[in-house]
Amino acid sequence: MNKKIVIFDDDKEILTALESVLDFVDWDLMTYASGQDALQVITKEKPDLVLMDVLMDGCDGREICRNIKEDSSLQHIPVILISGLQNTGIKNKDFGPNDFLAKPFNAGDLIDKVYFQLAS
């Protein structure tokens, strides 16, 4: 069965870049240009991995990540947060992202991080 990856980013260019880099592997990719319904999507889809921007259209990926990690039915799902901002408190373990990817990102780094999280 293919691994399911859910991606949230309100920047359509970044979303397209993430999708094109990850699309060569037989992963089921689901992309969303808004984080408004992220928790509902994640709860419904139960993906194998979440890639999510930190700051999206009024949503905070750190808060969504915290909610995922506090929910016993979701906390096993690895979350990679993505941001172009430097001092966003990404490394804060209170909300538990499994990894962080800085924008602009290197395709090789993205693939390495995704493979690592899916294998964990």
pLDDT in tens, 18-69: 999 998 788 999 999 998 899 999 999 999 999 999 988 888 898 999 999 9
Taking residues 78-95, what's their average pLDDT? 72
DSSP H stretches of helix in 1-120: 12-22, 38-45, 61-70, 107-119
pLDDT in tens, 52-66: 999 888 888 989 999
pTM as predicted: 0.91
pLDDT of residue 84: 81
Token digits of residue 44: 């419904």
CATH number at residue 38: 3.40.50.2300
pLDDT in tens, 92-104: 555 679 998 888 8
- Which residue in 37, 40, 31 sits closest to 4, CA to CA? 31
- Give the total number of structural domains in the chain: 1
Tell me the residue range of the domain where 49 lies: 4-119
Helix (H, G, I), strand (E, B) or coil at 28: strand
